[in-house]
Amino acid sequence: MTIKFHISEDILLKYSAGTLDEASSLLVATHLALCPHCRMRNGSADALGGFLLDSLEVAPVSPSMMDAVLARVRNETPSRVPAARSAASTNPVIPDPLRSYLGGDLDSLQWKLIAPRVHQVPIETADRRSKARLLRFHSGLRVPSHGHNGRELTLVLTGELCDRDTVLRRGDIAETDERTEHQPYAGSGEDCVCLAVTDAPLRFKGLFARLLQPLLGI
């Protein structure tokens, strides 16, 4: 598996600083599980945070704090390194943390039909700034042409998601914004399952799709 489309610097830095919304952070963390290259980049972003922490001017803490901390911990034995990677007999399709959010792997999900040949599983997040959903496009499906009122992030988990000459496969990320108008379609092989995160409703071009939109909740 070779991932071609990675997380943008902007989003990775926000994830590292802890300022990215929950749904987008879920998508970033799930991509990181699939992409050693971006885990390395994420390490760089964290290292920048560490450097900044090091470089700050100091703010003196209360003189009693060190004793207070030691009083709490001095009798505790620090926890050891957690168990190594389990050699699991089953290999889940959906990596953590997404699998935990969904409550199970791909075969255990309750899909809801939201349009002909499109199913979704909404994902609950405490943070209301953005919405996450798992979408399943049946092979060959064409999504009606649409634009975006805000940013949309899509992470492909199975199958192929195509847009003009671009083909996205497992682990690949598509990032679209207000300027993007597109008509993606699912590849002809297996169904395409992807995690989609939006911070504003989509903007469909066709009247029919626009009328349906409130019903679909997209």
Partner 1 sequence: MTARRTHFIESGLQTRANWIEAFFSSIDNWTSKRIFDIAFAARFADLPHGATRARSNPGNIMVAKERLQGEPRPKASEFAACISRIADDRDQSAFEFLFRYFAPRIKSYCLKLGADASAAEEITQEAMVSIWRNAGQFDPSKAAPSTWVFTIARNLVIDRFRKSRRPQFDFNDPALVPEEQLPPDRLIEQTELQANVRQIMDSLSSNERNVLMLSFFENLSHFEISRRLSLPVGTVKSRIRLAFGKIRSKFEAQDGAGK
| Interacting positions 115-144 with partner 1 (CB under 8 A) | 125-127
Q: Which tokens is 121 given? A: 């599983």
Q: Nearer Cβ to partner 1, position 58 or 207?
A: 58
Binding of partner 1 by 61 (CB under 8 A): yes
Task: Candidates 82-90, 138-146, 191-199, 206-214: pick the segment binding partner 1 (CB under 8 A).
Answer: 82-90
Q: Pick the binder of partner 1 from 4, 96, 183, 188 (CB under 8 A).
A: 96
- Our CA dihedral for 37, 41, 42, 48, rounded to 10 degrees, sits at 160
Give the one residue of 5, 101, 137, 185 binding partner 1; rule: CB under 8 A. 101
Among 6, 49, 144, 147, which residue interacts with partner 1 (rule: CB under 8 A)?
Answer: 49
Please give the order of strands across the beta sheet that includes 161-163. 166-168, 161-163, 185-186
Give the pair of three-digit tokens for residue 65: 């704090």
Nearest to 170 by CA among 153, 186, 152, 192: 192
> Which of these segments, 24-32, 134-142, 145-153, 204-212, binds partner 1 (CB under 8 A)?
24-32
The DSSP line for 167-215 is EE-TT-EEEE-TT-EE--EE-SSSPEEEEEEESS-EEESSHHHHHHHHH
Q: How far is the CB of 122 from partner 1 (least distance, A)?
A: 16
Amino acid at 129: R
Dist. CA 203–CA 150, nearest whole Å: 10
| 215 lines the binding site for partner 1 (CB under 8 A) | no
Task: Pick between residue 101 and residue 185 the one whose CB is nearest to partner 1.
Answer: 101
Of residues 151-210, those binding partner 1 (CB under 8 A): 171
CA 17 from centroid of its chain's CA atoms: 16
Q: Looking at 55, 107, 116, 207, which residue binds partner 1 (CB under 8 A)?
A: 55
| Nearest distance in Å: CB 199, partner 1 | 12
- Does the protein bind partner 1 through residue 93 (CB under 8 A)? yes
